[in-house]
A and B are shown apart, each in its own frame.
Chain A
Amino acid sequence: MLRVMEPASTEDVEILTRPDVPWITIVWNDPVNLMSYVTYVFHSYFGFARPEAERLMLLVHHEGRAVVATGPREEMERHVQAMHEYGLWATVGKADEG
């Protein structure tokens, strides 16, 4: 008897139909975290040189959010968890919403 293979989830379908859209890590602004701390986290965790870390921090501060990484979903989830360990507010998204 033949069985129709069902996709595991709607997310799989989304990945299959949009293979060119990568995942992103978004850091959101909050009124609490010190600018120097956000810069430190971007430098220390992602390895950005200090000027780039500061640019991203200012982007978060002025625009309300910044995309700080792009890549496979699992990697973005690891980054987001790390940001939560630092106390930063971060989420995983798709590049076309960044």
Chain B
Amino acid sequence: VIFGRDDGQFVLAFSEAESELMHSLIVEYLYLIGGQHDGPLPARLFPAGYRDDPEAAEAFGDATLESLRARKIDNAELVSTAAALEPPIRLGMPVVERWLPTLTDLRLLIAERIGLETDGDEVPDTDHGLIYLWLGHLQEAMLTALWEEGAE
């Protein structure tokens, strides 16, 4: 896989397997946050806005949950659309910035699944562990490109 910056854009050369992986991650993500299933929303993606005040936290959640969910869905759909393109995929920097929160949410969900709870926890050598690292590598490359672009 090649991630890199070229002429003010971020270039992604996903393999077929990587495109499929990204697609399936987004499908599962949209299922979890989209409200089509009965389970609770992932708490880490929709955290309480107040730590020691349940009433204020509930009011905050009532006021913000739908717009937060809509924003997350918008970003994920943008990622999904781009990831389905024929590689190499060229992304403008404003689009890259909208990939970052989705990549973060995907990593947060996988982290729960593989039991990363504190800073010292090791990423297991499993499929989920490798996907977690791959997403982090992609996000780091995007951040590097944004800094470099901003510095010019």
Contacts and interface: CB of A to CB of B under 8 A. Distances in A.
Our verdict on whether A and B bind, yes or no, reads yes
Contact of B119 (A11, A26, A29, A77): A29
B104 A33 contact: yes
A11 B71 CA distance: 29
Interface in B33-72: 44-52, 56, 60, 63-64, 67-68, 71-72
Interface in A45-86: 61, 77, 80-81, 84-86
Main secondary structure of the interface of B (DSSP, over half): helix
Contacts of B48: 91
A97 B51 CA distance: 11
Interface in B92-117: 97, 100-101, 104-105, 107-108, 111, 116-117
Contacts of A33: 104, 107
B71 to A, nearest CB: 5
Contacts of A40: 100, 143, 146-147
B118 to A, nearest CB: 5
B68 A85 contact: yes
B111 A34 contact: no
B140 A34 contact: yes
Chain B: interface residue count, which band?
Answer: 35 or more
Nearest to B116: A31
A85 B72 contact: yes
A92 B101 contact: no
A84 B144 CA distance: 22
A36 to B, nearest CB: 5
Nearest to B64: A81
Interface of A: 11, 26, 29-34, 36-37, 40, 44, 61, 77, 80-81, 84-87, 89-93, 97
